[in-house]
Chains A and B, each alone.
Chain A
C-alpha cells in the first residue's frame, strides 16, 4: 500500500493540495477562452482529483522497476506505456465530466475538446513528475534503511565482539598463567586489553582501513593462541595492496572469531585457520578458512555473525559485494568480495 493511505490525515491533505491546484488552474484558464471560472473549476477540480489518485500509481511501478537494477532503455519501455494509459484515463474522465455538465452549461464539451491538447501534455508531464518524485522518495527510503541496518549491525557486531565466553576464558587463562609464567600472563593481559580497546575504537567508526581491521583480528588471534596453544595454528596470506582499502569496521573480525569458535575450539586436535586477502584492481577478496568437526556438539548458534556480515556488505555495496560460503565435509570457508576503495 502506498504510504499515504496509511495516514488518512496526510491523504486528505494530499487531495486538498490537488483541489487547490485545480482551482488555481481554473482561475488562470478562462483568460484564454470564453469559459467562466465556475465552469472551468467544475471540470478541472474533479479532473485534478482523479489525477491525484493516478499520480499515486507510480509508487507501485517504481518499486517493481527499481531505478538501479534496470537499464535506462527498459525504464522508458516500462514507464512510457504507464504514462500513456494514465493520461488517457485522466482525459477520459475529464471528458465524461465535461459531457455530463453540458446540460447545465451548453458548449462545455466543445470547450473541453479545444483545451484537450495542452491539458493532455500537462497531465502527462505531471504523471512523469510524479514518477520521478516517487523514485526520489524510494531512494531516500532505501538509503535510510541501509543506514539504520548498518548501525544495528554495528551494535550487534560490537556485542558479539565482547563474547562472554571469549572474555571469561581468556581471563581464566591469565589467572592460570600468573603462577606459571608471570611474564606471559602480563603479555596476555595486555593483548586482551589492546583487543578490547581497538574493537571499541573501531566500532565507533563507519569504515576503517583494511590494515587496521586486520590488526584487530591479529590482536584477537594472539589472545586465542595463548588460550588454545598448539591447537590454534595460523596461515596468513595478505597482499599489502589491500592495506589502504576502506572496509566497514568490524566486518572481517567476526569471520575469524567464528573460525575459532565453531572450528578450532570444537576440535580436540585443533587445526589450521588460513586467512587471505587479495586485491585485484578494483576488487578486494578476503577469505577465512577453517577445519571443523562435523560431529561436534551442537552449540547454540546465534547466527548473528554471518548474517550480520552479509547485511552490512549489502547495506554498503548493494549487489556489488558478495559473500560466498564453501563448506565441505570438514572445512568451512567464507569469502568476501567487494569493491576496493581507498579514501
Chain B
C-alpha cells in the first residue's frame, strides 16, 4: 500500500502532539512537516505536495480557509477544529472529514480510513480546495482581506486597499497600493465574496472599489469611463453604468 505523506497545521503545540501521537501507530502515514501558522502551512503544502493535510481553522497569519485558497495541488483535507459554526458547509463541500477537538483515537482512525479510501479506490480524485472559502462564508458576511501568492510568499491585501480587479483569463489582476497581484480566481467569484455596497462590477472584466471613483465621464454612445482618484480610466458598460447610478444614488 502506498505511504501517505501528511502535514499537520495547528498553532498549538499540544494540538499537534496529539495528532502525532495518534499517527505513530499508522505505518502507512508519514508526517513530512508540522506548521505552527498559516504562512508556513501554505509554503509547506505547495513545496512538499502532501497527500493529507490536517488543518486547524483559527491560526495566526492565515486562517485555515485562507490556507486552502492558496494551495496549488490537490490534497485530502481533514479539518481539526474546536468549534466553527460556518465551517460545516465547507466540510460538506470538499473536506474529507472534520474532527472536533478533543477527539478519540477511534474517531481519528475512522477519519484516516476515509482518507485512505480516497486514495485506494476508484473514488473521484480529491478536489482542489481553492473555492472552499467562498462556501464557508455566512450570508451577508463579506471578505475583509484577500490572500494572494507572491512566489513562495503570501501577500495579504486588505479589501479597503483594493482599487479595482480586472479579469485576465483564469486570473484576476488585483490593483492595490500601486502594485498588481495575480490571483487564480474568476472575477465573478471575487465579486460574490466582496461587499456589493463597496465593490461594483462596472464591466464584464472590471470590479471597482466605489471609494476610488473620482468621477464618471461619457465615452462612446453606450459606454462610460470611471476615472479613479489616481487618474486610472476604467471602462463602464451600459449595465455597469446603470448599476453605478443605482448604488451612487442610493447613498
Interface set of A (CB-CB < 8 Å, partner B): 164-165, 167-169, 171-177, 179-180, 227-229, 265-268, 293, 295-300
Note all chain A residues with C-beta closer than 8 A to B144.
298
18 contacts between A and B (CB under 8 A): A165-B82, A168-B100, A168-B101, A168-B102, A171-B102, A172-B12, A172-B15, A174-B102, A176-B17, A176-B18, A179-B21, A180-B21, A268-B36, A268-B61, A293-B60, A297-B38, A298-B144, A299-B58
Knowing A175-B102, A176-B18, A293-B60 touch, does A227 contact B37 (C-beta < 8 A)?
no
Contact in complex: A180, B101 (CB < 8 Å): no
Knowing A267-B60, A297-B66 touch, does A173 contact B82 (C-beta < 8 A)?
no
- A295 to B, closest residue via Cβ: B156
CA distance A236 to B60 in the complex (A): 25
> Distance in Å from the Cβ of A179 to the closest Cβ of chain B?
6
Note all chain A residues with C-beta closer than 8 A to B12.
169, 172-173, 227-228
Contact in complex: B60, A177 (CB < 8 Å): no
The dominant DSSP class at the A interface is helix
Knowing A169-B12, A176-B17 touch, does A296 contact B58 (C-beta < 8 A)?
no
Contact in complex: B61, A295 (CB < 8 Å): yes
Contact in complex: B101, A268 (CB < 8 Å): no
CA distance A299 to B144 in the complex (A): 10
Partner of A172, one of B18, B37, B58, B63: B18
Knowing A165-B83, A171-B102, A174-B102 touch, does A296 contact B14 (C-beta < 8 A)?
no
> Distance in Å from the Cβ of A311 to the closest Cβ of chain B?
25
Q: Which 9 A-B pairs have the closest CB atoms?
A: A172-B101, A168-B82, A176-B18, A175-B102, A176-B14, A297-B63, A298-B144, A172-B102, A268-B37
CA distance A295 to B58 in the complex (A): 14
Mask, B1-30, CB within 8 Å of A = 1, is 000000000011111011001000000000
Knowing A164-B83, A168-B83 touch, does A173 contact B14 (C-beta < 8 A)?
yes
Contact in complex: A268, B11 (CB < 8 Å): yes
Partner of A298, one of B11, B61, B145: B145
> Distance in Å from the Cβ of B184 to the closest Cβ of chain A?
20
> Distance in Å from the Cβ of A273 to the closest Cβ of chain B?
16
> Distance in Å from the Cβ of A8 to the closest Cβ of chain B?
39
Note all chain B residues with C-beta closer than 8 A to A174.
102
Q: Is B62 at the interface (CB under 8 A from chain A)?
A: yes
Mask, B34-58, CB within 8 Å of A = 1, is 0011110000000000000000001
